[in-house]
Amino acid sequence: MRPGAGLVDPRIGWADCRYLHAPAHAPAAGLRDNTGVKTAAAHVMESTGSPAILPIDFDRGLALDPVAARAVGEGSSAEYCFAEPFPHIVFDNFLPTPVARLALDHFPRHALNSDRVFDMGYAGLNKRQILPEECDAPARQLFHFFNSRPVLEFLEGLTTIQGLIPDPYFVGGGYHETGRGGKLGIHADFRINDQLHLHRRLNMIVYLNERWMQEWGGALELWDRGMKEKRREVMPLFNRCVIFNTDADSFHGHPDPLQTPEGVFRRSIALYYYTASKEIYQEVPSTSTMYHARPGDDLSVRREARRLRVDQHLRQWVPPVLQRYVFALRRRLTR
């Protein structure tokens, strides 16, 4: 576990890192880039060769222990929560090499029926979005892994946001590809998934660009909350992962047109994670399962089903002190 992890009292559990405060010894924010970028003489940029962040067992079918995954996330939670201009982190060598290669090797090179192409100027230009369900089996397996419990455990440990929910429809996500001249203006992402009625909380982007040239551009820019100053640039290097909160003022993008040669693309995996609102308890009755007997069931079954329903209605409508009285009276009468 990295220094600074576990700053939240375990007796009260992890809190959303928006409500934590940086320790007094935290370094000056927004002026460092700790991603370990190496630039060769020809300006070819590659991610570092350190061990993978996520200890995925490729040979066992993308197996990842959920407890180990959460521990990995918690080890970097302080760095994430105290980052500027908003909570974020950059991981090099995020995936084991065979997993990263699988993601790139199975990237669909040809157009698919479900492709969405953006030619919207500042809102997205020369950009292609590819839904996982139309990809081949290895790519589908990888995306389903990103929606699995171990990855959610990792993200919850990292961000301190509990109860994360993946998007099985990959709205806005999947494989992304941007060609020469393409760009995406600085923006804050949509915050409500209208299909699932969920609150969007996190982006996770994994870049798939080998031997990326610095002069091609394409860096992800992170801007301060007032849109006054660019605070960080992240080059889209192979197997580099960027994770960040999707708040109303988490401004990011790559707004300058790509200078790649024809046929060279900026490729990535984009994944979004959500939480459900606690306000649902104010809108929907918090009942348990409601049982009903079939028309042909015998009297004992009908009585049991009715009793179970009555119990739920009692819990919904009757104050707790009266519930205890009713249940105690029932126990005495059935002895």
Domain membership of residue 89 (yes or no) is yes
Domain membership of residue 5 (yes or no) is no
- Give the CA angle between residues 278, 82, 99 to the nearest 5°: 80
**Section 249-259 average pLDDT:** 95
Last residue of a domain, one of 225, 241, 275: 275
Q: How far apart are CA 200 and CA 172, in angstroms?
A: 12
How confident is the model over 202-236, as pLDDT tens digits?
999 999 999 999 999 999 999 999 999 999 999 99
Residue 31 identity (one-letter amino acid): L
Collapse the DSSP code of 62 into the 3-class scheme (helix H, G, I; strand E, B; otherwise coil) and give the result.
coil
How confident is the model over 47-86, as pLDDT tens digits?
666 789 999 999 999 999 999 999 999 999 999 999 999 9
Q: What is residue 11's predicted lDDT score, i.e. its pLDDT? A: 28
Collapse the DSSP code of 180 into the 3-class scheme (helix H, G, I; strand E, B; otherwise coil) and give the result.
strand
Q: How many domains is the chain partitioned into structurally?
A: 2
Domain membership of residue 162 (yes or no) is yes
Q: 299 and 199, same structural domain?
A: no
Detail the DSSP E strand segments found in the chain: 38-39, 44-46, 88-91, 116-119, 125-130, 165-166, 174-187, 192-193, 198-207, 212-213, 220-223, 230-234, 241-245, 252-254, 266-275
Q: 203 and 151, same structural domain?
A: yes
The CATH number linked to 136 is 2.60.120.620
Q: What is residue 14's predicted lDDT score, i.e. its pLDDT? A: 38
Q: 313 and 247, same structural domain?
A: no
Q: What is residue 10's predicted lDDT score, i.e. its pLDDT? A: 32
Domain membership of residue 283 (yes or no) is no
Higher pLDDT, 134 or 294: 134
Omega into 85 within 30° of 0, i.e. cis?
yes
Q: 43 and 151, same structural domain?
A: yes
Q: 247 and 161, same structural domain?
A: yes
Domain membership of residue 284 (yes or no) is no
With contact defined as beta carbons under 8 Å apart, do 170 and 131 qualify? yes
User: Which of 10-14, 191-195, 226-230 has the lowest average pLDDT?
Assistant: 10-14
Domain membership of residue 11 (yes or no) is no
Among 251, 274, 278, which Cα is nearest to 200's?
274
For 308, the domain range is 291-333
What pairing do the DSSP bridges indicate for beta strands 174-187 and 88-91?
A: unpaired
**Section 84-109 average pLDDT:** 98
Q: 202 and 75, same structural domain?
A: yes
How confident is the model over 117-164, as pLDDT tens digits?
999 888 899 999 999 999 999 999 999 999 999 999 999 999 999 999
Q: Name the pTM for this structure.
A: 0.80
Q: 89 and 197, same structural domain?
A: yes
Domain membership of residue 6 (yes or no) is no
Q: 262 and 159, same structural domain?
A: yes
Q: What is residue 20's predicted lDDT score, i.e. its pLDDT? A: 56
* pLDDT tier at 310, thresholds 50, 70, 90: confident
Among 216, 253, 247, which Cα is nearest to 232's?
253
How confident is the model over 101-122, as pLDDT tens digits?
999 999 999 999 999 999 988 8
For residue 125, which phi and psi values (nearest 5 degrees)?
-135, 135
Q: How far apart are CA 327 and CA 315, in angstroms?
A: 11
Q: 264 and 308, same structural domain?
A: no
Among 213, 319, 324, which Cα is nearest to 259's?
213
Q: What is residue 284's predicted lDDT score, i.e. its pLDDT? A: 67
**Paired tokens of 234:** 């992240």
